[in-house]
Amino acid sequence: MNDNREEGVVVTRNVWKIFGSRADEAMEAVRRDNLSKAEVLEQFGAVVGVKDVSISVGEGEIFCIMGLSGSGKSTLVRHINRLIEPTGGDILINGANVGQLNAEELRAMRADKIGMVFQNMALLPHRTVRDNVALSLELRNVDAYTRAQVADRVIELVSLQGYGDRLPSELSGGMQQRVGLARAMAADPDILLMDEPFSALDPLIRRVLQDEFLDLSKSMNKTTLFITHDLDEAIRMGNRIAIMKDGEIVQVGTPEDIVTKPADDYVADFVAGISKLKLLYAHTVMEPLEAYEQRKGPIPQAEAPVAEPDDDLDKLIALSVNQDHPVLIKSDGNVVGVVSKDAILHGVQGEA
Amino acid sequence: MTDTTPDQMGGAPAAATDETKPFVEFADKSGGYFAETFLSIQKAKLPATHVNWMAAIAGFPWAALRANKMLFWIGFLIDLVAAVYLMQVWKFSRAAEQAVIDNKDFLVERFENWTTSSLWAAVIIFILGRVIFGWLADRLYFRQYNTWRVDHSKPSGWDMKRLVWATLIVAMIAPLMLYRASQFPPEERTCIKQARSIAAGEEVAFKDQFDCMIIGEFPTIVWLERRDTVTYPRDDNGDRFVRREAPREGLPPVNLNSYTAQLIDDGIGYLTAFYGFFFDGITTFLRSMLSAITAVFVGTPWIIAMGAIMAISYTMAGARITIFVAASLCYLALFGFWQTAMDTMSLVVAASIICIVFGLPLGIWVGKSKRGQAIITPILDIMQTIPSFVYLLPAVAFFSIGKPPGILATVIFAMPPMVRLTALGIRHVPENTKEAALAFGANPRQLLMKVELPQALPSIMAGVNQVVMMALSMVVVAALIGAGGMGFIVTEALANTRTGAGILAGIGIALLAMMIDRVVQKANTVKH
Ligand SMILES: Nc1ncnc2c1ncn2[C@@H]1O[C@H](COP(=O)(O)OP(=O)(O)OP(=O)(O)O)[C@@H](O)[C@H]1O
Ligand SMILES: [Mg+2]
């Protein structure tokens, strides 16, 4: 029980959340009869928000959660700092069971370990941007001078310099979202819960903030749960991606797994139309040299372009343009495979 | 009783076109007439003078047959009122004859006058009422058609069976009403006497008993034995003790009202006798608080006080409102109300401070806790429905007269808006901002101080404004129990019919109120 460290920084074990006055009853019935979300709603008037979710997020990992609207992403993430009590299951942070903390311990854990960016921003309307950003420090009784210094630094990070003394109501939606982001970063927590933090931003600033955030979380080794609707964003940011549907997690995997081996039609629909150029690598699309030469005859190895097994499709395409020969894949100077133009085209279509 | 005459104007139901078919189906009897009328209503071509004379002549039974409830009650009421006046004609002419026999000339003339005027009233109400009834008939019937068209289960057509219902209703109401109108009701004293004689076993005529039960005051049903008289004299050591004395033999029992009133008096007497120190303590506290405030308001020379008030109003609410404040202050000063107005202000400030000090935490509790809401809200409802004068009674009972009870009555009267608006403000703080603060580790005190109270502030300030306004109005009333101030001038003017003085003081009070209101409100809007 105490030795869960190797399991991950944030672990959920069979977490269930059912909303409604008859939640416990519904919970039992679901466990017994394996009812669907619609059946629970009909029989108990209760909504299944999260259904038997077990995930484990390792230290420094960015774990993306995707899914349709209402699939339970926010609900799941809210369990982690216990804004919501689970109907069943446990949440462990660094091996400590969040559900067993008393009020003071919980408060301390929220203040020191976990930062959160809210989907609806939830800024305090009566406070200036600076005071909003410094909220977590103020709650920890940090002195005003340090607060202002930290806040101004973070405000600059989200490119809102000069807006420190404005009220949130004077800012645009995207700017408010950045204030929410800055507020979470100012707390400097080990774990970040980000509920669609970039959804209201224009593509340019979004790209900048994504890079900024990637750098930051790499250098500061932050563990992040990142909710997004945008598959491109998930692929860009996530070490792993979880796809949710009706409160359940239908698939967890690396971006490449999700794109190339969707677990079911739902996931396949999700990833249809995504560009595979940066997701597929030579080692996935290549075929053995012998197999190729049997079909097409020998390759003049001196003229053929050469790539590494870890190069992505994008690079392979660049090499094959204006080339009559297939690309040779070499690892440590040895030929390990061949990628023909046909293989590249299949790869672009997503058939590895 | 039937609609045959109009039938000839509209033609037979058979002639109905597609347009008028639903009308005919709805009206059933006299379909042609209604088809035509409803069509002209729909085309907005019905003449303003259109009256359904059949309905006017037939009266409420027509509405009953047509199942139009609204029209039925209107028609029934018209006829009933006319009939009541007719019964009065009978009653007064009998009384006039009696007066002739009794040789009371002045009574004869009075009763004869009443007879004539009742007769006229009966005739006019009947004729005019029936015309109005006829005028309303088709218009209301058209409304009924509209509801029927949406929902065909609603009554339509013409049905003799409905007359049975109508007759039942009339039979239940009319006879008693008419009987009551034809009789002089017995006096309450007569009835009390009668009740005693019945209790003593004497025979009483049925008519007299009936009159006392039904057409006079609601009969006294509950009779209770008198309570012991309780006094709280002092014994030899000067300590109070309770002395009970049984009521004298042979005194009649009392009714519920007197009994309960006695009970309350005894309770208050007991509390003041044995817990007097508690009430005295409160009185002393209020008095010293008030004298401190009065020292500021009245003790400051007028020239400094005026300057200070104007400076405050300028910083809080700006130049325009300060001009108004200056003019009001001039009025008060020129008409000699300065000291009295400052006296009133001290009372208002004292009462408002107490209201805020107690109302704010109470409001927070009500806003945050379900239980608090369940306990306090009904109490506030009661506090706000009780007329302000009533608060003076317990204040006087426990604290005697003067300024302290005046302040207390004012506090009770002015507290509810503070509690309510604070609770409202707290309850309307968006859930997500509270959640955000919690997510960053706020403890309950930080949540209240940094998130909830700041966001509830506009509502709380509106509460403060209300408190001050209500305190001002109550302080005027409290002059009745010796709280003094501007209200004293008004009550005195009322007692001595010195209208002019009263009006001047009234204007002064209004100006005071407007001054405070404008400044506080403006200050509130400037900030947010
Ligand atoms: N407080 C609540 N009471 C009742 N039902 C709730 C509550 N919060 C969420 N739900 C239900 O739980 C389900 C999941 O909601 P959730 O907010 O987690 O969705 P989401 O995946 O975050 O959607 P979105 O992308 O739109 O933010 C929904 O069906 C919602 O109706
Ligand atoms: Mg959500």
Confidence of residue B324 (pLDDT cuts 50, 70, 90): very high
pLDDT tens digit string along A61-75? 999 999 989 999 999
Average pLDDT for chain A: 89
Q: What pLDDT was estimated at residue A286?
A: 87
Contact residues, chain B, for A107 at CB < 8 Å: 441-443
Q: Are residues B457 and B354 in the same domain?
A: yes
Domain annotation covers residue B197: no
Quote the radius of gyration of chain A (alpha carbons, Å): 24
Ligand 1 centroid distance, CA of B451 (Å): 25
Distance CA A44, CA A19 (A): 10
Q: What pLDDT was estimated at residue B10?
A: 42
* pLDDT surpasses 80 at B16: no
Q: Are residues B248 and B393 in the same domain?
A: no
Q: Which of B432, B439, B450 sits opposite A110 (nearest CB)?
A: B439
Q: Which of B471, B478, B283 is nearest to B391 (CA)?
A: B478
Q: Which residue has the higher pLDDT, B2 or B319?
A: B319
For atom 3 of ligand 1, the residue with the nearest CA is: A19
Q: Are residues B111 and B245 in the same domain?
A: no
CB pairs under 8 A between A and B: 63
Q: Which residue has the higher pLDDT, A303 or B503?
A: B503
Q: Are residues B234 and B144 in the same domain?
A: no
Ligand 1 centroid distance, CA of A76 (Å): 9
Do the Cβ atoms of B436 and A187 come within 8 Å?
no
Confidence of residue A4 (pLDDT cuts 50, 70, 90): very low
On whether the CB atoms of residues A226 and A64 are closer than 8 A, the answer is: yes
B132 C-beta neighbours (distance < 10 Å), count: 15
Q: Does A300 touch chain B (CB under 8 A)?
A: no
Q: Are residues B319 and B267 in the same domain?
A: no
Do the Cβ atoms of B436 and A124 come within 8 Å?
yes
On whether the CB atoms of residues B438 and A83 are closer than 8 A, the answer is: yes
pLDDT tens digit string along B173-229? 999 999 999 988 888 888 888 888 888 888 888 888 888 888 888 888 888 888 888
Q: Are residues B170 and B270 in the same domain?
A: no
Q: Does B271 touch chain A (CB under 8 A)?
A: no
Average pLDDT for chain B: 90
Distance CA B286, CA A154 (A): 53
Confidence of residue B1 (pLDDT cuts 50, 70, 90): very low
CA B97 to chain centre: 43
DSSP letters for A269-333: HHHTT---TTT-BHHHH-B-HHHHHHHH----TTTS-EE-TT-BHHHHHHHHTT-SSPEEEEETT
Domain annotation covers residue B14: no
Q: Which residue has the higher pLDDT, B524 or B26?
A: B26
CA B494 to chain centre: 24
Q: What pLDDT was estimated at residue A351?
A: 62
Domain annotation covers residue B267: yes
Mean pLDDT of B307-328: 93
Q: Which residue has the higher pLDDT, B18 or A127?
A: A127
The pair of structure tokens assigned to A271 is 């990833």
Which residues, 6 or more positions from B367, have their beta carbon under 8 angstroms from its beta carbon?
B373, B422, B423, B424, B425, B426, B427, B456
Q: Are residues B420 and B373 in the same domain?
A: yes
The domain boundary, picked from B165, B182, B199, lies at B182
CA A189 to chain centre: 17
How many structural domains is chain B composed of? 3
**pTM of whole model > 0.80?**
no
Distance CA A202, CA B414 (A): 53
Q: Are residues B75 and B96 in the same domain?
A: yes
Distances (CA, A) of A2 to A13, A59, A95, A156, B383: 14, 17, 6, 41, 58
pLDDT tens digit string along A285-295? 888 888 888 88
Q: Does A108 touch chain B (CB under 8 A)?
A: yes
* pLDDT surpasses 50 at B9: no
**Structure ipTM:** 0.85
Q: Does A139 touch chain B (CB under 8 A)?
A: yes
The DSSP code for A7 is G
pLDDT tens digit string along B476-525? 889 999 888 899 999 999 889 899 999 999 999 999 999 988 888 887 77
Do the Cβ atoms of B450 and A138 come within 8 Å?
yes
Question: Which CATH number covers residue B479?
Answer: 1.10.3720.10
Do the Cβ atoms of B457 and A110 come within 8 Å?
no
Strand-pair category, A114-117 with A191-195? parallel
* pLDDT surpasses 80 at B15: no
Fold of A282-349: CBS-domain (3.10.580)
Do the Cβ atoms of A122 and B436 come within 8 Å?
yes
The DSSP code for A216 is H
Mean pLDDT of A118-142: 94
CA B238 to chain centre: 47
Q: Which of B432, B435, B441 sits opposite A107 (nearest CB)?
A: B441
Domain annotation covers residue B121: yes
Mean pLDDT of A21-32: 88
Helices (H) and strands (E) in chain B, counts: 23, 4
Confidence of residue A87 (pLDDT cuts 50, 70, 90): very high
Q: Are residues B456 and B310 in the same domain?
A: yes
Domain annotation covers residue B208: no
pLDDT tens digit string along A201-223? 898 989 988 998 898 888 888 99
pLDDT tens digit string along A38-60? 888 888 889 999 999 999 999 99
Q: Which of A81, A107, A112 sits opposite B443 (nearest CB)?
A: A107
Domain annotation covers residue B315: yes
Q: Which chain B residue lies closest to A134 (C-alpha atoms)? A: B440
What percent of chain A lies above the pLDDT cut of 70?
97
Q: Are residues B262 and B158 in the same domain?
A: no
* pLDDT surpasses 70 at B12: no
Domain annotation covers residue B228: yes
Domain annotation covers residue B202: no
Q: Name the residue ranges covered by the structural domains of chain A.
A: 56-90+97-113+189-272, 282-349
Q: Which chain A residue lies closest to B447 (C-alpha atoms)? A: A139
Strand-pair category, A248-253 with A240-245? antiparallel
Q: Does B437 touch chain A (CB under 8 A)?
A: yes
Ligand 1 centroid distance, CA of B513 (Å): 50
Long-range contacts of A252-257 (CB under 8 A, 24+ apart): A252/A55, A255/A279, A256/A280, A256/A281, A256/A284
CA distance A193 to chain B (A): 10
Which residues, 6 or more positions from A99, have their beta carbon under 8 angstroms from its beta carbon?
A82, A85, A86, A90, A91
Domain that holds residue B134: 21-182
Query: Considering the domain A56-90+97-113+189-272 in this protein, what is its CATH number?
Result: 3.40.50.300
Q: What pLDDT was estimated at residue A352?
A: 53
pLDDT tens digit string along A324-336? 888 989 888 888 8
pLDDT tens digit string along B424-476? 999 999 999 999 999 999 999 999 999 999 999 999 999 999 999 999 999 88
Which residues, 6 or more positions from B229, have their beta carbon under 8 angstroms from its beta carbon?
B244, B245, B247
Q: What pLDDT was estimated at residue B141?
A: 94
Contact residues, chain B, for A187 at CB < 8 Å: 440
